[in-house]
Amino acid sequence: MTTRPEPPISADVDLRGMPFMPLDVNRLRDSDLAIEATGEEFRAAVMLWCASWNQIPAGSLPNSDSALAAYAGFGRDLKGWKKVKAGALRGFIECSDDRLYHSVVTEKAMDAWAERVEYREVKDNEKARKQRERDDRKRMFEDLRLAGIVLPWNVPTSELRSQHQAIPPAVGDVTSHAPVTVTGHAPDTAKTGTGTGTGTGIKDQEHTHTAHTKFSLHDAWEPDPITFTAVLFRNGMANQTFEADQLLEFRSYWISRPDDLKTQAQWEHALAQQLKRQAHTQQANGGIPNETGRRTAPSRTRNAHDILTDPDW
């Protein structure tokens, strides 16, 4: 009994969806099929090559006369198929899985399969990269929003990263909050006070805010020296100087609007925007007018960080 060979191609080679099959024209022109086969045999052979290309595994055909007749263009005419069968199956061999394989078609199929596998890997890597970028953009937009900065949804990723990197660690690195444990209240054993306290501690507690708390502006509000310096940098005002009473003007305006609530970062961003507008107006006017109407250089101006860290501020 003759032992049939193993298939020359892996069983998972699937080229369905790839209608193009390369044709080695010189090889076909000089083949025994082209020289010796009849017209009907040649036509049937090419039809079978085409049918085998999208079979699984690629380059193979079922070992069934009814199926081969249909693939070769003979339909149910098994008698007509058997007349050309020997010539049409030239180059096909029967393998151990009871299928017919053509050595040249399977050779071309393996090349096409390698290209398909490589293409799928590239697409999968690109898909994973885009998903990582979407996740990064979502995280950076959220961090910027918490810092009081809202950028357009279609801002380039490079610009988004640049803005995000400028967020101070105190804002950008907040990831979670420790749980708050509520305990029972101890009995009140303190003595009643005389009412002569200054109330300083109470005032400080009233104006203590978390990074996410929104509040109306009050007369004790001040921008944080570190985060506000970063805000000025992002607004193109890294070396900008301004007068101390500009902060008083900012407070006065927003104190008169108690219904406007913002986080600490959003108030700092609003102050930076006001200073930026005032700087542009001052540059357009050529200076600040004094009582005589003449333009003079601004007085008492210092770097923002120096002003905010001055204990006499």
Q: Which residues of 198-210 are buried (b: 16+ CB within 10 A; e: fewer)?
A: eeeeeeeeeeeee
Query: CA–CA separation, 278 vs 272, rounded Å?
Result: 10
Q: Is the pLDDT of residue 180 over 50?
A: no
Q: Cα–Cα–Cα angle for 271, 277, 281, nearest 5°?
A: 145
Q: Cα–Cα–Cα angle for 106, 112, 117, nearest 5°?
A: 120
Domain spans in the chain, listed from the N-terminal domain onward = 1-130, 210-308
pTM (2 d.p.): 0.45
Mean of the per-residue pLDDT values of the chain: 79
Mind listing the pLDDT tens digit for each residue in 118-165? 988 898 999 999 999 999 999 999 988 888 888 888 889 898 898 888
In this prediction, residue 154 carries a pLDDT of: 87
Which tokens go with 185? 């209240």
Find residue 303's DSSP bridge partners: 241
Q: What is the DSSP string of 158-195?
A: HHHHHHHHTS-HHHHT----PPPPP-PPPP--PPPP-S
Query: CA–CA separation, 32 vs 38, rounded Å?
Result: 11
Backbone φ, ψ for residue 154 (5° rounding): -100, 25
Mean pLDDT along residues 87-104: 93
Mind listing the pLDDT tens digit for each residue in 102-127? 999 999 999 999 999 998 889 899 99
Query: CA–CA separation, 230 vs 214, rounded Å?
Result: 20
Mind listing the pLDDT tens digit for each residue in 248-287? 888 888 888 888 888 888 888 888 888 888 887 877 776 5
Mind listing the pLDDT tens digit for each residue in 30-56? 888 888 889 999 999 999 999 999 999
Residue 298: count of CB within 10 angstroms of its CB: 13
Query: CA–CA separation, 66 vs 277, rounded Å?
Result: 85
Element (H, E) at 53: helix 39-53
Which tokens go with 14? 């699937």
| Residue 81: partners with Cβ closer than 8 Å, 6 or more residues away | 44, 65, 68, 69, 72, 74
- Which residue bears the tokens 């053509």? 102
- Which residue bears the tokens 């990064």? 136
Number of H helices, E strands in the chain: 13, 7
Q: Is the pLDDT of residue 312 over 70?
A: no
